[in-house]
């Protein structure tokens, strides 16, 4: 095999790995504080949702319908959020507290200083293939409260690790 063929096969392998199994993403913004910080590098396990479904409180990479880089359709923007509502559930926000099917959701990852603006959201019942996602920094997050529920295909992968500057690695649970 020639060197050019080996290089081509290696490039195809890396591309397939990135598209279907594992990829990296970079946090831009503060919508996931305190869990993730601006400029964290994320290791995204894309295979997890090819064989399973997102679970409540998974931190995920997702795409919002119609949101593209500089309005170029084939360059969709990716966002990092937390899965809150699952298919068939009713999600409501009362005085800043998320309720699932009428019961308050326990969210130990939230920082009360980042949920000062007590917002309400009327109840929404998710369809059979819909998910409700929120940022951990509720005061500064563009999420399902604004863009609505996401279809399953919009969730691209689960965040496994955050690689922080100064060689700090944070496992995401």
pTM equals: 0.84
Place of tokens 């939230």: 110
Place of tokens 């795409």: 63
Q: What is the CATH number of domain 21-171?
A: 2.10.109.10
Q: Which of 31, 78, 141, 144 is catalytic?
A: 31
Domain ranges of the chain: 21-171
Q: Answer yes or no: 144 catalytic.
A: no
**Model pLDDT for residues 140-150, shown as the tens digit of each residue:** 888 999 899 99
What integer pLDDT is reported at residue 117 of this predicted model?
72
- CA–CA separation, 49 and 20 (whole Å): 10
DSSP E strands in 29-172: the ranges are 41-45, 59-62, 79-85, 90-94, 97-100, 103-104, 121-125, 130-134, 150-151, 155-164, 168-171
**Model pLDDT for residues 90-112, shown as the tens digit of each residue:** 999 988 899 999 999 999 999 88
Q: Which of 48, 78, 81, 141 is catalytic?
A: 81
Cα-based distances in Å from 124 to 88, 90, 171: 10, 5, 32
**Model pLDDT for residues 74-89, shown as the tens digit of each residue:** 667 889 999 999 999 9
Q: Does position 65 have pLDDT exceeding 70, yes or no?
A: yes
Q: Answer yes or no: 81 catalytic.
A: yes
């Amino acid at each position: 095999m020639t060197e050019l063929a080996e290089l081509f096969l290696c490039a195809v392998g890396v591309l397939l790995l990135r598209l279907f199994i594992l990829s990296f993403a970079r946090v831009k913004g503060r919508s996931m504080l305190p869990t993730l910080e601006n400029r964290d590098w994320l290791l995204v396990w894309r295979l997890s949702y090819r064989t399973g479904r997102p679970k409540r409180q998974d931190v995920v990479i997702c795409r919002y319908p119609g949101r593209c880089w500089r309005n170029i359709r084939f360059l969709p923007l990716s966002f990092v959020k937390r899965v809150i509502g699952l298919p068939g559930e009713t999600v409501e926000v009362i005085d800043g507290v998320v309720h699932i099917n009428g019961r308050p959701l326990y969210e130990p990852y939230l920082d009360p200083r980042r949920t000062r603006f007590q917002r309400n959201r009327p109840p929404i019942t998710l369809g059979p293939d819909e998910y409700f996602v929120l940022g951990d920094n509720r005061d500064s997050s563009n999420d399902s409260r604004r863009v609505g529920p996401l279809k399953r295909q919009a969730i691209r992968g689960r965040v496994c690790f955050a690689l922080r500057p100064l060689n700090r690695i944070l496992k995401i649970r």
